[in-house]
Amino acid sequence: MTGRESEPLTTVLGARSAAPLAKLGLTTVGDLLRHYPRRYGDPGTLTDMDRLALGEHVTVMARVAHATVRTMRSRAGAMLQAVVTDGRHELALTFFAKRAGALRPHEEKLVPGRVGLFTGVVSEYRGTRQLTHPDYILVGVDADDAEAAMFEASRPIPIYPASSSVPSWRLQRAVRTVLDPLTKADVEDPVPDEVRARHGLPGRLDALRGVHEPVDQRAWQVARHRFRFEEAFVLQAALAQRRAFAAQEEATARPPREPGEQSLLADFDARLPFDLTDGQRSVGEDLAHELAQPRPMQRLLQGEVGSGKTVVALRAMLQVVDAGGQAALLAPTEVLAAQHARTLRQLLGPLAEGGLLGGAAHGTRVALLTGSLGAAARKEALLQAASGEAGIVVGTHALLSERVQFADLGLVVVDEQHRFGVEQRDALRAKGRAAPHLLVMTATPIPRTVAMTVFGDLETSSLTEIPAGRAGITSHVVPAGNPRWMERTWARVREEVDKGHRAYVVCPRIHPDDDLPAGGAAAKDFDDVPDLLELMDGEGSAAGGDRPPLRAVLEVAEMLRENPQLAGLEVGVLHGQMTPADKESAMARFAAGDLQVLVSTTVIEVGVDVPEATVMVVFDADRFGLSQLHQLRGRVGRGAAPGLCLLVSTAQPGTPAAARVEALAETTDGFRLATLDLELRSEGDVLGAAQSGRSSSLRLLRVVQDADLIADARREASAVVASDLTLADHPQLRTAIAAQLDDEQEEFLERA
C-alpha cells in the first residue's frame, strides 16, 4: 500500500481521534477506507411529528429546543437528552455513552435554535416519543441550507461495524474526513483499466465514494459489486501466481512400473480384498499421470467420510516407492499418525515388511515418527527414513525437525491440510532433492466456490462414492430436555454394545464448570476451539442466557459409569489434555474392545477408524458446525454394521442452531451439508475461524452467492498473470497482493 492510503490516521485525524479507531484495528487511511458499512439505513421521507408511529423509521425536520448531558443514576455511564420541535409538537433525542466526554460532540452541535433533519426509529419512554441515537444533519453546520440538508438526508445512511467507544456516526465522520480530499492519484487501483471496462466497474475512488457516501441505493450496490470483484481478483491473481511458479519448478518424474515388472503397487492391487470404486480408479489415474511428470504435482483430494482417500493416497505413495523415491505422510495429531501407520501396515501386509523374516523380498517399510516416541524407537525411525529403508514415513510435526532426513523424498501427502500452515508444509517439501510432488487431503467436503477461492492454486479431485460393504449411517435429533428420549438413547447404546459393537459419546469440553483447572473456562478446555467458540459467541450468546452449561467429558464419563443401563461396561475418556501415550492407550483399548464406551472431545473428529464403532451420541450438537458434525458422525458405520448417530440438542425449534442439527439428520451428503454450512453461518466463520482460528480476510465477497463473479475474476486474473508473471507491468496489483498477504491472509491463502 502506497500513497495516501498508507498514511497513519494519527497524522490525518490527530492522535485523540485516531486512538479509539486503533482499537478496531484501523490505523491507516487504507484500513479506514476498507472498513465498509455493514448495511445502510433508509433515510425515509420527511414525517409530520404529529403522526409518528412507534417502531417506524422516520426523518423529521425540527428545531433544537434544548440539550443536556448528565450522569445516569441507575447505572454507570452518561446520557444526553435533547428535545426538538416543529413549533407544535416535541420529540426527544437520547444518546448514551460510557463517559460524559464522549457526548460533548453532540452537545456542541445540538445548540438551541439550530434546525436539522433527524433520522431514527420511534420508541417511547415514560409516555414520551423519542429517537435513540438518531442520525442527524444540521443546517448551517453539516449543510449550507435547508435544501442541501434535505439532499443529504435523502441519501442512504451508512451503518458501520462499530463498538461502544466508536459509534457508527463517528466512523462515518472519520471516513468522510479522510475520503473527501482524495484524488484519483491518491488511490491505487489493482484492477486494470481494461478489466474494469469489460465488466462495467467504476474506478476505485468512485467506488469508495459510492460505498461510503452513496447518493442513492444503486450507488452503494454498484460500489459493493466492484469491491467484491476486486477481492476475488486480487485473491485469484495471487493463486494464479502460485500455480505458475509451481509449474516452473523441477521435480523428479516418478512413472509407474511397466506391466509385468515387479511392482509394489501391482502386488498391493492384487491383494486388495475389495474392488476400487470408479472414483478411486479415475482419481488414481490422474495421480499416476501427474507423478510421472518432471514438474511437481499439486493436487487437493477431497472426499466424503469413508470414501477411501487413504487407499488412493497409498497407491500414489507406492508408485513413488516403485520409482525409487520415498513418501511422507503428515498428520495433524499423534492419534491419527499412529492410526495411519497401523492402517498402511495392515493394508500392505508382507509388502510393509521388507528385509524382515516373512516379508516380501521387494517390500518396503512404514516408519512412524512422532514427538512422544522413545529414544530407541525414534533413532530407528530416523535411520529408516535417512537410509531409504522406509519407503513410507508417517508422522506429525516431528517430521519437520531438522534432524529428520530422507534418502530421496518424492511425495508429500498432507492429511487435513487446514491444520497446517504453509511454513510447516514447505519445511517438509524442502527435504527433497528436487521439489517433491504434493497431495493434500481433506475429509471435509468443500463446495466448488470455496475450493476455487481458497485452494485455487491446486488441482482438485473429489471422491463421492462410498465403497461397497458400508451399511450407512442413520441420524436422529434427541431433545436434551426429554427424559424418555434420553433414556432410550442409553438403551440404544447398550443394545449396540451387547451386539459386540462400540459407542462414542462426544462432548464439546473437557472439564465441567465446577471442576475447571486454574484459569477458568479458557480455550484449553476445548479441543476444537475456533469452530465451537465462534458459534457460542454468535447465536449462542444471544440465545444464551438460559442455555444449560456445555456438557464435559469428565462429568459425562462419571455419569455413564453410574447409569444402570450401562452397568458392567467399561467407560473410557479421550481428550487433548491427556499425554500422547494415554491417548494411544485409550484408542488401542477401545479398538480392542477393552473399553466399550469412549467419552471424547472432538479429537476423534478426523480419521480415527474403529470398524466396530456403530453408535455415537453427540452432546450439545447444536453448538457445532455442520461440517464438524458430519466429520464426527463419520467415525461410526465404517464396517459392515449400520451406524447410528444420536444428536442431543438444546436448541429451540426454528433457530439456526436447530436448523443445522435437523439438516444433518436429513442427509449424509457432505457436499450439500458443506454448502448449507456456508449459508447458515457467516462466511468469515467458515473460511476463517473454523479453519485457522482467525477471522477471514474476506470483507464483502460471498463465496456462495458470488460464484459467477469469482469465476469471472479467476479468468481475468489468470490471463493477467499468464502475460505478466511477476506483475512488473501491474505494480498496483502487485502492491495489493502484498498488502493482503499479511500473516493472517497468507495462512488463509496458503493453507493448501
Res 459 pLDDT > 70 = yes
Sequence length of the chain is 752
**Range with the lowest mean pLDDT among 169-178, 209-218, 589-598?**
169-178
What distance in Å separates the CA atoms of residue 643 and residue 187, rounded to the nearest whole number? 58
Helix, strand, or coil (residue 369): strand
Helix, strand, or coil (residue 40): strand
Q: Which residues of 88-110 are buried (b: 16+ CB within 10 A; e: fewer)?
A: eeebbbbbbbeebebbeebeeeb
| Torsion sign (Cα): 302, 306, 312, 318 | positive
Strands laid side by side in the 613-618 sheet: 473-479, 643-649, 613-618, 502-506, 597-600, 571-574
Between 395 and 449, the higher pLDDT residue: 395
Average pLDDT, the chain: 83
Q: What is the pLDDT of residue 535?
A: 42
Place of cell 510432488: 437
Residue 671 has, within 13 A of its CA and on its CB side, a CA count of 12
Q: In which band, very low, low, confident or very high, does the pLDDT at 421 lie, cut at 50, 70 and 90?
A: low
Mean pLDDT for the stretch of residues 643-656? 90
What secondary structure, in 3-state letters, does 511-553 show? CCHHHCCCCCCCHHHCCCHHHHHHHHHHHHHHHHHHCCCCCEH
Q: In which band, very low, low, confident or very high, does the pLDDT at 741 lie, cut at 50, 70 and 90?
A: low
What are the residues facing 530 on neighbouring strands?
none
Mean pLDDT for the stretch of residues 203-224? 95
| 247 alpha carbon, distance to own chain's centre | 28
Res 697 pLDDT > 70 = no
Which residues contact residue 581 at a Cβ distance below 8 angstroms, ignoring those fewer than 6 apart? 372
Give the residue among 49, 139, 134, 127 at the shortest CA–CA distance from 91.
Answer: 49
- Pairing, β 473-479 against β 502-506: unpaired
Contact 618, 635 (CB under 8 A): no
Model pLDDT for residues 503-520, shown as the tens digit of each residue: 999 999 998 866 655 544
In angstroms, the Cα distances linking 280 to 19, 463, 583 are: 57, 7, 32
Q: Which domains does the chain have, with CATH numbers?
A: 43-155 (2.40.50.140), 264-291+307-442 (3.40.50.300), 473-667 (3.40.50.300)
Between 90 and 686, the higher pLDDT residue: 90
Between 653 and 544, the higher pLDDT residue: 653
Between 179 and 704, the higher pLDDT residue: 179
Model pLDDT for residues 145-155, shown as the tens digit of each residue: 777 666 766 77
Contact 171, 35 (CB under 8 A): yes
Model pLDDT for residues 41-86, shown as the tens digit of each residue: 666 556 678 888 888 777 788 889 999 998 887 778 899 999 999 8
Mean pLDDT for the stretch of residues 467-475? 76
Residue 381's CB is within 10 A of a number of other CB atoms, namely 23
What secondary structure, in 3-state letters, does 121-133 show? EEEEECCEEEEEC
The three grid cell numbers given for residue 614, joined into one nine-digit string: 456403530
Between 356 and 283, the higher pLDDT residue: 283
Contact 670, 305 (CB under 8 A): yes
What's the predicted TM-score (pTM) here? Answer: 0.69
